[in-house]
Chains A and B, each alone.
Chain A
Amino acid sequence: MAVFNLNINGKNVSVDVDADTPLLWVLRDELNLVGTKYGCGIASCGACTVHLNNVAIRSCVTTVSSAESAAITTIEGLGEDKLNPVQEAWKELDVPQCGYCQAGQIMTATSFLNKNPNPNKDEIRNAMNGNLCRCASYNRIEKAVALAAEKMSKA
């Protein structure tokens, strides 16, 4: 075991875990940030997506040791005071069904829109293709990303 200092949602925290522990389980088991979900453990479904220095990564295959010097943002830190435009769009279009994958979807979409604020349909579909939704709420996710882009351009 070793102590790792992490910066999560703007706060410094330290955790005492094995160096190979995936960030996902540090967030969920050690820090009670359970909004980040476990889906596959092999970076194939996107449920565990968080931001490392504003870049969307899969926390299930990112070790805690490699996340030490980065600014980590989770779904809990996305819109702490008020919903961010992506969350607003998700709510406005009533996107979720079971809701389990949606935190990961929102994290991927937020990071994508920060890089590409004015995406076309194909760019959205490409960007979101790595995030599985077993309920297949894909039509609404696609629309919500476009709506979020619209909201961000007006803001």
Chain B
Amino acid sequence: MKTRKKMTFSRRNFIKTSALAGGGILIGFNLVTACKEAAKPPVDISKLNFQDFNAFIKIAENGYVTIFSPNPEIGQGVKTSMPMIIAEELDVPWEHVTVAQGDLDTENFERQVAGGSQSIRFGWNALRQTGATAKQMLVNAAALTWNVDPATCSTSDGIITNAKGESLHYGEVVNTAATLDVPEDVQLKSIEDFKIIGKDATNVDMDKIITGKPLFGLDYKTEGMKYVCVARPPAFGKKLKSFDDSDARLVKGVSEVVQFGDKVAVLANNTWAAMKGKQALKIKWVSDAKLENSELHDVELLKILEGKDVVVKREDGNVTKAFAEADTILDRTYEAPFLPHNCMEPMNFYAHVSKEKVHLVGPIQTPAGTANRVAKLIERDVEDIHLEMTRMGGGFGRRLYGDFVMEAAEISNLTKQPVKVIYSREDDMTAGIYRPASKYRIRASIKNGEITGYHLIEAAINGNMWAGIASYFPAGAINNYKVEAGNYRSNITTGAWRAPYTNFLAFAEQSFFDELAEELEKDPIQLRLELLGKVPNQTDDPNTYSSGRMSGVIKLAAEKSNWGKTENEIYQGISAYFSHNTHVAEVADIRMVNGEPQLEKVTVAVDCGIVVNPTGAKNQIEGGVLDGIGHAMYGDYSFEEGIPQDSNFDTYRLIRMKETPVVETHFVESNIAPTGLGEPGLPPAGGAVANALKAATGKRLLKQPLMQSLRKQMSDFKV
């Protein structure tokens, strides 16, 4: 049966149209307002004007469509997939659509907000309604021209047809449409009628990327702009005492050296001079706080795992009783180091603070919040801040933090000229914000062959898991269930890193399930399905896992990976995890070659609801899985006396092509509204590999990076 949804809430709250001077129609909509509409009462219509819109559709007289995408693009593909959703409901051929990044320094785009990893989930309804509303206006205009009832007209590929078989294309009615009221209720397409959603669409920036056109923040420049490198404290816990810039000023091309806070900026006519000038600075740093070692963090985190200063995040039943009555208790501790983000494009930002305005350009995931912070820092009205986003050479959470934007603004404000702050790779890796080191202790009680209790303690540097995470599987599947968390406050700056918390929590829990299965002498897939079978299925709350969807991805991964039926030399490991509203299961295949494990393939099953752009979606999963594997196997970052121990890719190991397995992705067919894909592929990957490594080598690895742990256990192992 076809399902047609009639949306009745007021579109005028977030959509407005106007005729374009040169012909055609401009449709403005506020994605943010629209996305929040379901949860909040409508905003006051009288207060809206075009400055309240952050995204636009332009339909020209030739019927061609330009969609100005409002959301930051960090490689997650929303600049392609979000316009696809509009084009679908607008009912135009994708080939007639051009996508442009919203130009943020025009007055139209002042209210810019980043969508983050939730772009598709939050944008789904609003983007569909926007496209459908625009289409209805065009139909109404055609109906007016023909003097017929709009209900008797239909559309297809940008052409409107009436009952007599007469037709008009969109371009022929746009100027009439621009004069009509915005319709109050429109019909969305049946999912079965989708023509664009569900079909591969190539990255809209493809040609620019493969021909090297200016696109990224580092590519942006203006006439007279100074290139700036900044010397920052070399250790967490140190501050600036004094500096001598006489040699730096002698470097050809260096124009100015300025101190701001505990940092020294070298301004120059080109990047190389700025880098050399910074090298030539002679700076004395002094300690003003504890200089921490990674060994100290280990000791402190282990104390938390013994129960020191923990808070309860969730408690069901009576865990103490379950453990007291247990036949067996399984007790394991999993450990992970700090990780830098290492975006390929190092942090950078352009700032020009002048009397008239503050012009900021560059890669930032949180433009609105950052603009506010800049305004406060340099004591300007936020209305003076004009912020343009560029395409970003990766984000991974690092560009949520606007520290580098503040630096650029402050230096421009001090020196009264346009500047571009550029981080060297060393700056990027050592002055960074890190995925916090963390440890998990998980215990399970077993009685009469059943898991009767489950107790997890999280110990992390600075932060702890969000409340919702404590309700992820196996919450609900085990009657006596408890999650506690505690943290150690460190002066090393930490923050969000792709799939915050779950990027390592998933490894710990999915490794633990494998050990539980072994203890209970069950197949690890069977154990998971049995536990999920105890949880009532639900698909209404997107923030909680669905036992049905989780079972679905596990079964699909098992089927596609030939679970349990592979040839003799192949050893498999399974991991399944729900995060960022998406369910993912992964099976890793390891082949033993001359006594050494080689990761050959990862079979992935994903339930993200409707897949908007299959090629983009698969790309996210492939990347997320390999990212997860790479960091689980090799990622290692530590501190001595507050000093970061790696500063570039010569010693810091990222996964490279020779180490990558084939990632084979399968999506569960679904008509459920879509959820995000930038992060959910990552968390299960490490566990799948660790479980396969156990099967292949007999070694259970509890500490990341896995290859280091494996080397310790296998002296003859060469990798």
Contacts and interface: CB of A to CB of B under 8 A. Distances in A.
Interface in B52-69: none
A138 B74 contact: no
A87 B218 CA distance: 22
Given A94-B616, A135-B627, A42 B210 contact: no
Contacts of A8: none
B657 A42 contact: no
Contact of A126 (B205, B648, B658): B658
Contact of A91 (B202, B426, B626): B202
Contact of A40 (B74, B219, B273, B648): B648
A41 B393 CA distance: 16
A25 B394 contact: no
B573 interface: no
A129 B591 CA distance: 21
B344 A129 contact: no
A135 B211 CA distance: 19
B218 A99 contact: no
B599 to A, nearest CB: 12
A33 B211 CA distance: 11
- Interface-central residue, B212, B218, B219, B622, by most chain A CB under 10 Å: B212
Contacts of A76: 211-212
B623 A136 contact: yes
A96 interface: yes
Interface string A32-65: 1111111111101101000000000000000000
A134 B649 CA distance: 11
A40 B76 CA distance: 23
Nearest to A92: B202
A137 interface: yes
A1 B272 CA distance: 13
B649 A42 contact: yes
B330 to A, nearest CB: 33
A40 B346 CA distance: 9
A1 B273 CA distance: 12
A41 B342 CA distance: 14
B203 interface: yes
A128 B657 CA distance: 7
A5 to B, nearest CB: 19
A102 B658 contact: no
Given A94-B200, A98-B394, A25 B271 contact: yes
Contact of B210 (A90, A98, A142): A90
A1 B270 CA distance: 13
Nearest to B212: A35
B170 interface: no
A7 interface: no
Interface in B267-292: 270-273, 275
Contacts of A83: 210-211
A136 B654 CA distance: 10
A47 B344 contact: yes
B344 A139 contact: no
Interface size class of A (residues with CB under 8 A): 35 or more
A97 B76 CA distance: 6
Contacts of A44: 648-650
Interface string B620-637: 101100110010000000
Interface string A121-155: 00001101111111111111110000000000000
B213 interface: yes
Given A34-B218, A96-B203, A99-B215, A41 B623 contact: no
B252 interface: yes
A137 B663 CA distance: 10
A75 B393 contact: no
Contacts of A35: 211-213
Given A90-B210, A126-B658, A136-B627, A45 B344 contact: yes
A100 interface: yes
B212 A34 contact: yes
B272 A134 contact: no
B619 interface: yes
A30 B270 CA distance: 8
A75 B210 CA distance: 8
B396 to A, nearest CB: 8
Given A94-B206, A136-B627, A100 B393 contact: yes
Contacts of B44: none
B516 interface: no
Q: Considering residues A29, A101, A140, A141, which has the most beta carbons from chain B within 10 angstroms of its beta carbon?
A: A29
B75 interface: yes
Contacts of B74: 98
Nearest to B630: A136
A118 interface: no
Interface of A: 1, 17-18, 21-22, 25, 28-30, 32-42, 44-45, 47, 74-76, 78-79, 83, 87, 90-91, 94, 96-103, 106, 125-126, 128-142
21 contacts: A34-B219, A37-B218, A37-B393, A39-B425, A41-B426, A90-B206, A91-B210, A94-B206, A94-B615, A98-B74, A98-B75, A98-B391, A98-B394, A99-B391, A103-B209, A125-B658, A132-B344, A132-B654, A134-B396, A136-B655, A139-B622
Given A29-B221, A33-B212, 7 more contacts: A44-B648, A45-B649, A98-B345, A132-B654, A139-B622, A139-B626, A142-B657
